[in-house]
């Protein structure tokens, strides 16, 4: 009866994972989907703690188990409560790394179990204690989980500015050599029966650890959203390996869902940038000297013009349709709430206001969607890139808040630009473009934006939050 009840717990968890992921595809149901999946995970955790049996023996050491749960719950809750929206990508990367580390430790624990069996019975060949499939699953979980862990930690460091892009001539060849060493060591451990020693297995983890660092270090900062998504899929695959090892249906389902979702998201983001995954991984796009682009120094631009707050408010207040393009600068200023306030003021004056969302705006997948959801912006007002581009031709004013590379017309007009071919928000088709930035410095990718120098574009300099507060006051006074 207990075994059947545990199976039911895992079934409930698996179903809620699937339902939760489905609900996450719609902004209106995303929060509820997260809670549904969390409920399923809770059922799986406590079902395992109290119902799991191995040869008639239940789990013990409840003090250690619940101490770990308590520490993790408190740490996770406090971190989530305190994190700023600008630091959300860093937290996602850090938590993803912890998931990879857990998956790697599961594989290490399973190998240690086999090692102890071999130690108790040395005459039994190692290959008989671990079938090829079993061993491959252990090693795959250890390697992928470790790469996900170290790669995510480096990504976390890059996002918060503690780790700089680093590359050297021939680095990708070195990376391949290290990866071959990881695989070769894994094969050697199994075939040479050296699995009777635990240290060689740790050597596999060591090489994977080094590879994870070298793998992410040269990748440019502008590609971090794709890297986070890719590493997330790695963690899912590693977790699925743990599900295979323990015949745990909930862990297997969750891992497969995370792995598949992360992989699909990575592909979609690469498509949104019109680049291959290989190019993302070896292109170093967005790293290095911000004053230059591939092919030499940044070209000289013409003159830009500024617009006053009063003029900007007048143009927007008497417009028929306004489109707001949020970017990382909006998140840095924590101005999403006052942005929503401006939207409501304009709407009350009869102006149609919507938001144009680029798939890779910000520092993580869906960053702008999360940012605006926090301010209770209506989901119906969020327009995906394709739909927004159809609307720009009939838009009176586009207000760009901290976005840069995703509105750069060089992606369409300049074959020499590193972002050439990348789909962008075609804001230049609107009648008037107002750009809010702190300065004329290039964006995260380090590329000058031709849009800022076009005749219909006006610059509105200043902190996004202060500028929006002043705009709200000016528009109200009209």
What is the bridge-based pairing of β-strands 53-54 and 57-58?
antiparallel
| C-alpha–C-alpha distance, residues 424 and 415, integer Å | 15
> Scanning the structure block, which residue is given the tokens 């790469």?
147
Residue 412 CA: distances (Å) to CA of 226, 245, 420, 428: 21, 49, 6, 12
Write down the catalytic residue from 311, 380, 390, 405. 405
Tokens at 448, concatenated:
């000058």
| C-alpha–C-alpha distance, residues 129 and 273, integer Å | 48
SS (H, E, C) 57-109: EECCCHHHHHHHHHHHHHHHHHHHHHCCHHHHHHHHHHHHHHHHHHHHHHHHH
Q: Which of 94, 331, 361 is nearest to 222 (CA)?
A: 361
In eight-state DSSP terms, residue 360 is T
Run of H or E including 398: strand 397-401
Q: Which of 322, 324, 326 is nearest to 314 (CA)?
A: 322
For residues 431 and 473, the answer to whether their CB atoms sit within 8 Å is no
Catalytic site includes residue 247: no
User: What sections of 273-392 are H helices per DSSP?
Assistant: 277-282, 309-317, 328-332, 336-348, 367-374, 385-391
> Scanning the structure block, which residue is given the tokens 């079938």?
131
Q: What long-range pairs does 349-353 form, CB within 8 A, spacing at least 24?
A: 349/317, 349/475, 349/478, 351/316, 351/317, 351/319, 351/320, 351/321, 351/322, 352/320, 352/321, 352/322, 353/321, 353/322, 353/323, 353/324, 353/381
Residues in the chain: 478
Give the CA diameter of the chain.
Answer: 89
What is the bridge-based pairing of β-strands 296-297 and 292-293?
antiparallel
Q: How far apart are the first and last CA of the chain?
A: 72
> Scanning the structure block, which residue is given the tokens 């840095």?
332
Q: Which of 340, 338, 347 is nearest to 317 (CA)?
A: 347
Which residues have a catalytic role annotated? 405
């Amino acid at each position: 009866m207990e075994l059947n009840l545990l199976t039911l717990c895992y079934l409930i968890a698996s179903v809620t994972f699937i339902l939760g992921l489905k609900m996450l595809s719609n902004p209106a149901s995303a929060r509820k989907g997260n809670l549904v999946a969390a409920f399923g995970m809770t059922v799986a955790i406590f079902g395992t703690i109290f119902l799991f049996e191995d040869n008639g023996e239940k789990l013990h050491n409840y003090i250690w188990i619940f101490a770990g749960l308590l520490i993790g719950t408190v740490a996770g809750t406090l971190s989530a409560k305190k994190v700023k929206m600008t630091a959300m990508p860093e937290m996602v990367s850090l938590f993803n790394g912890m998931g990879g580390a857990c998956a790697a430790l599961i594989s290490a624990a399973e190998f240690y179990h086999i090692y102890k069996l071999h130690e108790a019975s040395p005459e039994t060949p190692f290959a008989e204690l671990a079938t090829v499939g079993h061993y491959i699953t252990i090693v795959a979980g250890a390697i992928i989980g470790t790469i996900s862990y170290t790669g995510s930690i480096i990504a976390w460091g890059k996002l918060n500015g503690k780790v700089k892009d680093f590359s050297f001539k021939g680095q990708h060849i070195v990376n391949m050599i290290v990866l071959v060493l990881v695989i070769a060591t894994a094969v050697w451990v199994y075939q040479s029966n050296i699995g009777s020693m635990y240290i060689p297995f740790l050597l596999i983890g060591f090489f994977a650890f080094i590879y994870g660092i070298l793998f992410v270090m040269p990748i440019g900062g502008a590609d971090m959203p794709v890297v986070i998504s890719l590493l997330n899929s790695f963690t899912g695959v590693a977790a699925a390996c743990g599900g295979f090892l323990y015949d745990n249906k909930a862990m297997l389902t969750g891992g497969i869902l995370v792995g598949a979702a992360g992989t699909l998201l990575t592909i979609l983001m690469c498509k949104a940038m019109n680049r291959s995954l290989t190019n993302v991984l070896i292109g170093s796009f967005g790293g290095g000297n911000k004053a230059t682009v591939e092919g030499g120094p940044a070209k000289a631009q013409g003159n830009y013009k500024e617009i006053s707050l009063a003029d900007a408010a007048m143009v927007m207040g008497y417009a028929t349709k306004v489109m707001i393009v949020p970017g990382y600068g909006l998140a840095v200023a924590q101005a999403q709430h006052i942005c929503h306030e401006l939207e409501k003021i304009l709407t009350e004056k009869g102006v149609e206001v919507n938001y144009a969302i680029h798939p890779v705006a910000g520092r993580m997948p869906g960053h702008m969607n999360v940012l605006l959801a926090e301010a209770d912006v209506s989901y119906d007002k969020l327009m995906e890139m394709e739909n927004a581009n159809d609307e720009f031709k009939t838009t009176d004013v586009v207000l760009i808040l901290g976005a840069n590379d995703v509105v750069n017309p060089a992606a369409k007009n300049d074959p020499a630009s590193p972002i050439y071919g990348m789909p962008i928000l075609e804001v230049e088709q609107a009648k008037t473009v107002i750009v809010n930035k702190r300065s004329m410095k290039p964006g995260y990718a380090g590329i000058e934006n031709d849009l800022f120098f076009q005749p219909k574009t006006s610059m509105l300099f200043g902190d996004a939050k202060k500028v929006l507060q002043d705009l709200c006051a000016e528009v109200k006074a009209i």
